[in-house]
Amino acid sequence: MREIQFREAIAEAMSEEMRKDEDIILMGEEVAEYNGAYKASKGMLDEFSAKRVIDTPISELGFAGIAVGAAMNGLRPIVEFMTFNFSMVAIDQIISNAAKMRQMSGGQLSVPIVFRGPTASAGQLGATHSQAFESWYANCPGLKVVVPSNVYDAKGLLKSSILDDDPVLFMESEQMYGDKGHVPEEDYTLPIGVADIKRSGDHVTIVSFGKIIKIALEAAGEMANEGIEVEVIDLRTVRPIDYDTVIKSVKKTNRLICLEEAWPLGCVSTELTYMVQKRAFDYLDAPIIRLTTADTPAAYAPTLMEAFLPNKEQLIKSIREVLYQGKQ
């Protein structure tokens, strides 16, 4: 199987669907002439022309509104935000219009639109460019929220998002665009709302999503050297959440750690904790541990960013805690 970069998987997913359907368009800042801020739309202007690959002004509220209106009138826009931090400028169009239109029109209007771009931290970018909004958007009925952790998933999930008849937030990572992964030549999609077990185990369940899955897999690999088998579940989508896969795993391992690159209050991990204690409380042999970022804006200094983000050492400590409960 061939190996391609994350950014190439994104471009392939968009291009393949645009070849099939002329109603699909791409719009956003620098997506055309510059081939995308992260080169995730490289070559698409040459293939599809400026009519379908559209450079926009620096006006997220404006072009998000145009895209929502276009979707209501038969097109299927893909809107790229240079970062989801900038989607805050357009959030009224996403929350108040895209998410609500099917219900408010009595089912007469749908909004088949994808809002995509990078989320969360990406190094020394400061507090206003290092925020994770997955749980914010997942809180809103009418939206689907997809957060891939690898190249293969990114392509399959983006194609499904483009084909969906309702609005989808497709949230990537600037630090993953150069990642490489195996992707088949043939066409494929992955279902929205289905989690994936990235590593099987019997002793502890870790649930996560997005780029921080890498830390979960590293920690699981180290613990295996001690005979501790950690099951790592990648949610892949945080609305809808595949609760059944998580519950089934917890009933097997009897222990749960939720790992997330987001602030602790009201995050996806909080929702998972509630649902597991509701549906599998009697199976738990230890309290659930939630491992998130620090409850503060992200700093610029690299030492403070290191302290802000969850890390492998913290995760390994958490694994030992749910296993031994202070017995070591």
Residue of 129, 172, 231, 271 with catalytic role: 129
Burial label for 270, CB within 10 Å (0-12, 13-18, 19+), is middle
Neighbours of 189 (CB within 10 A): 16
Q: Hey, what are 97's tokens?
A: 């219009």
**For residues 232 and 217, what is the distance between their CA atoms, to the nearest angstrom?**
7
Task: Give me the residues paired with residue 257 across strands.
Answer: 206, 289
**For residues 310 and 260, what is the distance between their CA atoms, to the nearest angstrom?**
8
**For residues 40 and 160, what is the distance between their CA atoms, to the nearest angstrom?**
18
DSSP 189: -
- Is 235 strand, coil or helix? coil
Annotation marks residue 60 as catalytic: yes
* Cβ pair 84, 133 in contact under 8 A: yes
**For residues 270 and 280, what is the distance between their CA atoms, to the nearest angstrom?**
15
Q: Pairing between strand 196-199 and 230-234?
A: antiparallel
Nearest C-alpha neighbor of 270 from the set 251, 295, 299: 295
* Cβ pair 109, 142 in contact under 8 A: no
Nearest C-alpha neighbor of 143 from the set 174, 109, 166: 166
Residue of 29, 60, 80, 261 with catalytic role: 60
* Cβ pair 208, 258 in contact under 8 A: yes
**For residues 61 and 192, what is the distance between their CA atoms, to the nearest angstrom?**
27
Write out the catalytic residue numbers: 60, 129
